[in-house]
Amino acid sequence: MTDTCIRDCHALVPDASGSLTIARNQDILVRGGRIAELRPTGGPLEAGVTVLEGQRMLAMPGLINTHAHVPMVLFRGLAEDVPIERWFNEFIWPLESNLTEADVYWGAQLGLLEMIEGGVTTVADHYFHMDRVAQAVEEAGTRAHLGWAVFGSNGYKVLAETAAFAERWRGGAGGRITTCMAPHAPYTCDDGFLRASAGHANRLGIGIHIHAAEEMNQTNASLEKRGLTPIQVLKDTGVLGVPTLIAHGCGLLPQDIELLEKHRASVGIAHAPKTYLKLAMGMTPIRALRKAGIAVGLATDGAVSNNTLDIFESLRLMTMMQKHEAMDPEVLPIPEALDIATRGSAAALGMGDRIGKLAPGYQADLILVDTRGAHWQPPHNLAAGLVYSARASDVHTVMVEGRVLMRERRHLTLDKERILNEVASTMERMARRVPESRIQSYKP
């Protein structure tokens, strides 16, 4: 791979105090898949570098989706305006009984296509038939943190098989794939199963990606049934003893945050506000989590609840909802919102030393956002533009480890036409619901 210079872009970088700001008219030199240098534009170029023109583009770290079920794009729009119990029992879990391995592969390709178009370079995916997701990621050229979802009812043998997946793909796709254990949730996995999950994770030196305290009703049900919150269950079963990525935390109590604070070096919270609004799940207490030093990252969840895999949308909703809930427009100002979207998300995945920042030594996972649209004019405040005006469709160029995956919105790794055709061909079959064949029951 040749070295690349992104010339004369604006760049989202930390200032001297660490706060994110826009450095105007920068060159970004990429060498060996990493960022080598950021410098004011206008100097001489190194011999042999490939130049990517960046005028009126805003360079920022590639977006990170800290919790998704990517292949669920196949079911987009099939479960609308229903409460969470019906959403699971009458829609999602019956629908998922339709899935074949091939469906998961094409669903993953479609989701990756949508995410690349929206500037997402890393996704933490939590789903089934994960070898096929890993294959799709390898082909797409993105980065991913993959866990094979299992329920307690699947049994310990399946848990061992998903541990084998984690071992098989750890470091896959030239190091772009990391893996984890992915027990579904405390309300679908008994304590022994969670303990066994933590055991596999410990043995392999990896983490756990799990749903917990998704909404307050779950927390209350857990307290009623056993006198413990879902987070206390994670503690007691050893899950918090390994690096843990928790979705979604709308049901966190103050004592849960105290508990998580003790594990803050290795705990992250994935926040998917669009799903919470659509399903009326409440909202993650982001300010309290941040105050306790716990990493919070942005997420989209699956497209059956979230409809899109758009992290710009998650960023905007997170920021606005925190102001609304606090009844204070000064809460979560723009630099902090951008911090969560970049360094926060990277830290939530335990990758804060490698991605989420435009700085020498970091992976060259970055995007160029086109600021030439009418909705960006006049460009008084590009940072505000990123939070409040940017659309996924403004993403112009996407790079992962120095390799360009999309340029001028043309895909260089994925075959868009083929993917859309393959997905269209299974559309009718995907929409069939057989309630009796549901893969699981929701009863927290």
What residue ranges bind a second copy (CB under 8 A)?
Answer: 73-78, 80-84, 87, 110, 113-114, 117-118, 274, 276-280, 282-283, 307-310, 320-321, 323-324, 326-331, 333-334, 372-375, 377-382, 384-385, 388-389, 391-393, 416, 419-420, 423-424, 426-427, 430-431
CB nearer to a second copy: pick between 44 and 378: 378
CA distance 162 to 312: 32
Q: Are 73 and 309 in contact (CB under 8 A)?
A: yes
Q: Please, which residue, 172 or 302, has the CB nearer to a second copy? A: 302
Q: How far is the CB of 249 from a second copy (least distance, A)?
A: 16
Closest to a second copy by CB, 123 vs 234, is: 123
Q: Closest distance between a second copy and the C-beta of residue 126, in Å?
A: 20
Select 14 or 379, whichever has its Cβ closest to a second copy.
379
Question: Which is closer to a second copy, CB of 336 or CB of 365?
Answer: 336
Backbone angles phi, psi at 156, to 5 degrees: -70, -30
**AA letter at 351:** M
Those residues with Cβ within 8 angstroms of residue 164's Cβ, 6 or more apart along the chain or in another chain:
none
The pair of structure tokens assigned to 415 is 């075959």
Would you say how long the chain is, in residues? 444
CA angle 121, 39, 351 (to 5 degrees): 30
Report, in Å, the least distance between residue 297 CB and a second copy: 21
Q: Please, are residues 118 and 311 in contact by the beta-carbon 8 Å criterion?
A: yes
Q: What minimum distance in Å lies between the beta carbon of 106 and a second copy? A: 10
Q: Which tokens is 54 given?
A: 């960046």
Q: Which is nearer to a second copy, 53 or 80 (CB)?
A: 80
C-beta closer to a second copy: residue 201 or 369: 369
Nearer to a second copy, 200 or 211 (CB): 211
| Nearest distance in Å: CB 280, a second copy | 4
Q: Tokens in use for 87?
A: 């959403």
In the complex with a second copy, the residue whose CB is nearer, 199 or 333, is 333
Instruction: List all residues 6 or more positions away from 368 whose beta carbon is below 8 Å from its beta carbon.
Output: 6, 9, 52, 54, 57, 58, 59, 395, 396, 397
Cα angle at 72 between 68 and 78, to 5 degrees? 125
For residue 378, give both structure tokens.
């006049």
Work out how close the CB of 112 gets to a second copy at its nearest, in angstroms, rounded to a whole number. 9
Q: How far is the CB of 316 from a second copy (least distance, A)?
A: 9
Tokens for 149, please give them.
């979802």
Q: Name the minimum Å distance from CB 426 to a second copy.
A: 8
Between 144 and 346, whose beta carbon lies closer to a second copy?
Answer: 144
Provide the minimum distance between the beta carbon of 44 and a second copy in the complex, in angstroms, as a whole number: 29
Strand partners, 27: 39
Minimum distance between the CB of residue 309 and a second copy, rounded to whole angstroms? 8
